[in-house]
């Protein structure tokens, strides 16, 4: 029989060997997965030209698509395909503008955000955005005409002391 210290050293050696084998297996599997990983990132051209399969459950209530919040109308599909490829539909619905303002926003996205050339779809998209998300009328009173107001000058109370 081996002395206890030799038995302990033998067990330690076996544990080390088992740990090395486990590290090699896990590391090898991780390396293999990393090498064989293919990310499905579509190109801008593929997104711009690919048809979009609309969900069958896209319900419209009061002219608004429940699933994404966009207004129903001519150009809806083009806006859905081209705009929501990069950002949420909420970013469209929370903004307002006339046709010129929407065109400025598109140009800014093309210059700074990498938006592709919309081609013939741009006119359809601009018509849709201008019709469904125009500038909001702000219900606020007009500014006061300063010249037409007869101002009342308040006294600080010193006039009353002089009269006594």
Residue pLDDT, tens place only, 55-108: 555 788 888 888 889 999 999 999 999 999 999 999 999 999 999 999 999 999
Give SS3 for 30. helix
Tell me the pLDDT band of 35, cut-offs 50, 70 and 90: confident
**Domain extents in the chain:** 44-132
Give SS3 for 60. strand
pLDDT of residue 44: 62
Cα–Cα distance, 117 to 111 (Å, whole number): 11
Which one-letter DSSP state was computed for residue 148?
G
Residue pLDDT, tens place only, 117-155: 999 999 999 999 999 999 987 777 778 888 888 888 888
Count CA within 13 A, CB hemisphere, residue 18: 6
pLDDT of residue 37: 77
pLDDT of residue 1: 67
């Amino acid at each position: 029989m081996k002395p206890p210290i030799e038995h302990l050293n033998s067990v330690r050696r076996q544990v080390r060997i088992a740990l090395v084998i486990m590290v090699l297996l896990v590391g090898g599997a991780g390396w293999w997965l990393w090498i064989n990983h293919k990310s499905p990132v579509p190109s801008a051209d593929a997104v711009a030209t690919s048809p979009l399969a609309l969900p069958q459950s896209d319900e419209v209530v009061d002219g608004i698509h429940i699933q994404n919040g966009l207004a129903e109308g001519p150009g809806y599909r083009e806006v859905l395909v081209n705009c929501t490829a990069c950002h949420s539909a909420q970013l469209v619905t929370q903004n307002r503008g006339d046709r010129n303002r929407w065109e400025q926003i598109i140009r800014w996205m093309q210059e700074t955000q990498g938006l592709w050339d919309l081609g013939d779809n741009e006119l359809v998209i601009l018509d849709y955005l201008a019709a469904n998300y125009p500038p909001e009328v702000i219900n606020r009173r007009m500014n006061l005409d300063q010249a037409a107001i007869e101002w009342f000058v308040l006294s600080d109370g010193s006039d009353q002391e002089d009269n006594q």
